Amino acid sequence: LQPFDEARCRIVEQHAPAVVSFHFGLPSPDLVARVKATGAKLVSSATTVAEALYLESRGCDAVIAQGLEAGGHRGMFLTDDVLSQTGTMALVPQIVDAVDLPVIATGGIADGRGIVAALALGASAVQLGTAFLHAEETTISEAYKAGLRQAGDRQTAVTNVYSGRPTRCLTNRMMLEKGPLTGAAPAFPKGFAITGPLRQQAEAQGSSDFSAHYCGQSAALGKPTTAGQLVRDIAHDARQQMNRFT
């Protein structure tokens, strides 16, 4: 994992993508200005109102409001206090009220009900992560997929034992024995290099005890299908849910 630097900025300038999405805040103002000069729409994740205001003041075109339920790394960058994290239901309307930008709700949304709820909270769009892990196209291991299928509503936790930054994963031995949160975790992203060999050895023996299987709290709502079908199904589901209110 490398920070967004001069070389990576040149790649963006070369390919001029329509949208550039950053995580853990934004790069330096000069790099942000260069990305914006390509015409790209700029988005990044906020886990608090303060982070959303920061992103707005530095030129973001939309803010992703990432709730505590989300799988994978927290996008948090103005604080490292996981205890300050807010769930999607409470976070989205507060960010919607605070910024004058479209808000993309994310964290725990996996079907039409979640989409309609996010729109009712004032979101302009939603972002789904965990729901797509069930898709046929994913290249995650069979053990990872089995973990997702078995995950109920209590099988994930936020941990920093794998990368050094808090990330929501399927709970496993490493997280329970060393964390899930520990002050002894190496600084991000050094943890990957340190825990990597342990993970490889364990996985070679068929064990997921040391694997960071990123997963949000909505894993149990997911269904095995293709990514395209998933999008069509949840869009259809959202429209039907919407009809309940009209």
Ligand X SMILES: Cc1cc2nc3c(=O)[nH]c(=O)nc-3n(C[C@H](O)[C@H](O)[C@H](O)COP(=O)(O)O)c2cc1C
CB of 88 to ligand X, least distance (A): 8
Angle of helix 112-120 versus helix 88-98 axis, rounded to 10: 40
| Residue 118 tokens, joined | 């996010």
CA distance 215 to 173: 16
49, 65, 130, 135 alpha-carbon torsion, rounded to 10°: -170
Which listed residue (180, 210, 214, 238) binds ligand X by CB under 6 A? 214
Would you say 27 or 216 has its CB closer to ligand X?
216
Would you say 47 or 241 has its CB closer to ligand X?
47
Residues 120-179 that bind ligand X (CB under 6 A): 127-131
Question: Which pairing describes strands 103-106 and 125-127: parallel, antiparallel, or unpaired?
Answer: parallel
CB of 34 to ligand X, least distance (A): 20
Element (H, E) at 159: strand 156-159
CA distance 56 to 101: 7
CB of 96 to ligand X, least distance (A): 17
**Residue 20 touching ligand X (CB under 6 A):** no
Would you say 130 or 243 has its CB closer to ligand X?
130
Which listed residue (107, 147, 191, 222) binds ligand X by CB under 6 A? 107
Residues of this chain that interact with ligand X (CB under 6 A) are: 23, 45, 66, 69-72, 75, 106-109, 127-131, 214, 216, 218
